[in-house]
Structure 1
Amino acid sequence: MNASSRLTTLTRVGFATRGALYIAIAFLVVRTGRAEDPSGALRYLGEGGGRVLLAVMAAGLLAYGIWRAADAIFDIERHGSDGKGIAERLGAAASGVVHLLLTWQAIRLFQGVASSGQATEEGTQTALSLPGGSAIVIVGALLLFAVGVFQLVRAVKGTFLRHLEPRIARQTWAQWCGRGGYAARGLIFMISSYFLLKAGMQDQASEAGGMAQAISWLSSPVDVIVAAGLFGFGIFSLIEARYRILHDVPVDDAVKKATS
């Protein structure tokens, strides 16, 4: 098995890890009323599963992050060069960065170092400390809102199904897991963009909030409905781990070019 094939295999582990994180988020909301984001879900699973599970999740998240970043650079998912394709590649780049940061957190947890759990607020504070920081945060909020809208559009159109093996994409249960999941994520991203917009306009990092704050902001039973959607996204991620059509990242070619 060459390097490209090994990365593809580990990327499937990454999809499964993403699924486990979202299922954990939904479980915590429904069973305990506790709102978490993927970072908090990673801490929760790491505490319950131990170092072996953390090591597996870290490897999967690393491969997934690299695969997303490679998609942004090499267009391995065939997005195209039009406006929509460029937007999808930018989204892949952002997803790659997020999952590489989750990888780092998993490694830190493996080493016994707990994170603060305030990544969104800390990141916003860093942005606000820069020249024109408020404007940067406001632009970030608008971009996050656009991502939320894009997620809702995907839920309605079902475009995410084109990446699955056709026999699975035709299954109604798989379709609705994906639709519910993308709709829930879209709503969460739009609420988070509202928090980020407030932080930028008021120049207060404490106003910023991610997925956990967005879920907490929702009242019952809407939070449970959204949690059900996130559970669906987790299941859909597990489906992708097995049945998504993955194009190999040209790792071997890149290494040859770098060493020639």
Structure 2
Amino acid sequence: MSSKRNIYARSGLFAKAILFLAIGIVTAMEAFGLGGFKAGSFTLMNVLAKHEFGKAILILWAAGLLGYLFWRVYETFADNEGYGTSIIGIGQRIGFCFGGLVYGFLAFKAIQVAFFSDGIDWITNSKFQDLLHTRLAQIAVVGVGLGMLGATLNEFYISISGIFKKTIEYDKIPVEYQKWVVACGRIGYAVRGVTVGIAALLLMDTAYTNQDISSANKEAAFSFMQYAFGSFILGMIAIGFIIYSFYVFIEVRYRRIDMAQNKTR
């Protein structure tokens, strides 16, 4: 990657950090009775689009997320971090691509909301919902849910092992802040694991209930946590999202991008 491409990739990390920070803040406000609301990505977009300059912000944010998509897809095919062609290496690279596509979809949705007010919600379209009632669709939804559970285990592994330190220029971080960066990473990945895991279970449940996959997202996971464990736990999870956003902001500066000598993660 050229320096300009590196900057664009980092803008994608910045956009990702802003997303988690916003979700964490408004959800924490809801949990602690300070206003706010349980926020998923799409809900945030629709709320933002109704405010002055909101659509312009959505377009800028989408442009940043496309930078994240570009970086992850590049990383998948260029293998600039040296994961290789082993089963584990290929699995890691596919994971990079999938993660990039997820944020690429969010970028597409943000542009859609910016230009079409509430967007074109094909997920709740009646024809799409009819399709989800088929046996093949049920199997596909369960398959996606199982994949999300795999991602959940990976999030916990990253959190517990601290392997994320290998993806950043850890030695360049001032010594007095290093332990705080690691703590933010551990908490952030653990909270992501909890949320993705609950969303995965909700998604698989839709395969045999109402088949409305729009009810299986962060917002639904937050609602489940509040119902099952109370507002305080929801607030702690939301604060975890804020802490994770701090870690991603650190990544904007210190993430290893396009460094061929970085052969491990």
TM-score (norm 2): 0.82
Tell me what 2:34 maps to: none
Deviations 1:206-225 (A, max 9, x none): 68411110011112221111
Determine which of 204, 213, 227 is the counterpart of 2:211. Answer: 204
Distance 1:184 1:25, change over 3 A: same
Deviations 1:103-142 (A, max 9, x none): 1122223325323678599998486256611111111111
Contact kept in structure 1, 2:155 and 2:189, CA below 8 Å: yes
Task: From 44, 47, 56, give the equivalent of 1:41.
Answer: 44
The percentage of counterpart residues that share the same residue type is 25
Gaps of 5+ in 1: 250-260
2: distance between equivalents of 1:83 and 1:70?
19
The code of the aligned residue for 2:248 comes to: S
Tell me the secondary structure at the aligned position of residue 132 of structure 1.
Answer: helix
Partner of 1:102: 106
Alpha carbons 2:151, 2:193 under 8 Å: kept: yes
1:236 to 216, 235, 247: 247
Q: Is it true that 1:192 corresponds to 2:199 in the alignment?
A: yes
Equivalent pairs, count: 247
CA distance in 1, matches of 2:27, 2:245: 14
- How far, CA to CA, are the matches of 1:237 and 1:223 in structure 2? 21
Deviation at residue 40 of structure 1 after TM alignment: 2.7
Q: Tell me what 1:14 maps to.
A: 12
Deviations 1:55-107 (A, max 9, x none): 32121111111211222222233323233322221211111111111111222
* Aligned-residue CA RMSD (Å): 2.9
Equivalent residues of 1:215, 1:223 under 8 A apart = yes
Q: Is 1:198–1:207's contact at 8 Å kept on the other side of the alignment?
A: no
Q: Which residue of 2 aligns with 1:80?
A: 84
Map 1:177-188 onto structure 2 (within 5 A).
177-188=184-195
Deviation at 1:35, TM superposition (A): 1.4
Cα-to-partner distance string for 1:162-202 (whole Å, 9 max, x where unaligned): 11112329601111111111101101111011111111234
Q: Which residue type is aligned with residue 149 of structure 1?
A: L
Equivalent residues in 2 for 1:136-215, closer than 5 Å: 136-166=140-170, 167-168=172-173, 171-202=178-209, 204-205=211-212, 208-215=215-222
